[in-house]
Amino acid sequence: MRWADDGIFLAGRPHGETSVIADIFTRANGRAKGLVKGGRSRRLRPLLQTGNTLGVEWRARLDDQLGVYTVELARATAANALDDPSALAGMTALAALLQVLAERDPHPALYDAAQDCLAHASDASFPAAFIRFELRFLNELGFGLNLATCAATGRADDLIYVSPKSGQAVCREAGEPYADRLLPLPAFLANAASAAAPSDAEIEAGLLLTGHFLAVHVFAESGKPLPTARDEFARTLRRRT
């Protein structure tokens, strides 16, 4: 068995004295693990960093075996964010989410969304891009939110809340009597066409929103909490303000 693909390096663990078992999310073959021989060497170690895009070839005698990776660097996203703790934390959080996916289950649209998000890792728009990626992640797993119209009235304007049960937006008029039971909907998610940069408060509200539905729909069934890397990402953003 053999295939070649592009992939995002998610994580790795040492194997033996010199090798690494790499967890890589590829576009056409999904999340797949494989042995990178010499992965702890000076030549390969800089390539096997969370968030980097690699050109990979995977081969094994049988399809259900671990397999062996040959890798080459396609985009050094991790190196571009070395001086930004929040970007590094965000890339680690994104990788932790992708590790929830079943192995060998392709999600090409989600792969493209992850690449779009990582392209912003070293600029100020990364937190907003990360939240939009989490929305795409929820949608890909069948838990998409409806942030375009009000659950109660059908209106498409003045949407400022989200129902924590249905995942649908709620307008100000319909939601005010129940405001303490609803999640805030930040303006940059309610109005996708807006060019205004979201405030720190909007970013925090966005992380609260996606975090709620990730916890309820993705992690609760497995009995696991949200990834600690995601909490660290939120903390680094707060420290930055």
Q: What is the structure's pLDDT at 81?
A: 84
**Residue in this structure with the two tokens 């949407």, named with its chain if needed:** 159
Q: What is the structure's pLDDT at 196?
A: 73
36, β-bridge pairs: 20, 69
4, β-bridge pairs: 57
Residues 97 and 207: beta-carbon distance below 8 Å: no
pTM of the model: 0.94
Strands of the sheet containing 159-162, edge to edge, are 169-171, 159-162, 183-184
**pLDDT mean for each 10 residues of the chain (241 residues):** 97 97 98 97 97 97 90 94 90 96 96 97 94 97 96 96 98 97 96 78 97 95 88 90 61
Long-range Cβ contact pairs of 166-169 (< 8 A, separation 24 or more):
167/143, 167/213, 169/145
Chain center to CA of 52: 14
Torsional sign, CA 103, 106, 107, 111: positive
Beta strands in the chain (DSSP E): 2-15, 19-26, 30-36, 53-59, 68-75, 159-162, 169-171, 183-184
Q: How far apart are CA 203 and CA 12, in angstroms?
A: 30
Structure token digits, residue 67: 């397999």
The domains of the chain, with CATH numbers, are 2-80 (2.40.50.140), 85-147+185-240 (no CATH)
**Residue in this structure with the two tokens 């050109």, named with its chain if needed:** 55
Q: What is the structure's pLDDT at 5?
A: 98
Structure token digits, residue 210: 């996606």
Q: What is the structure's pLDDT at 163?
A: 98
Q: What is the structure's pLDDT at 178?
A: 97
Q: Phi and psi at residue 196, in whole multiples of 5°? A: -70, 140
Q: Phi and psi at residue 53, in whole multiples of 5°? A: -95, 130
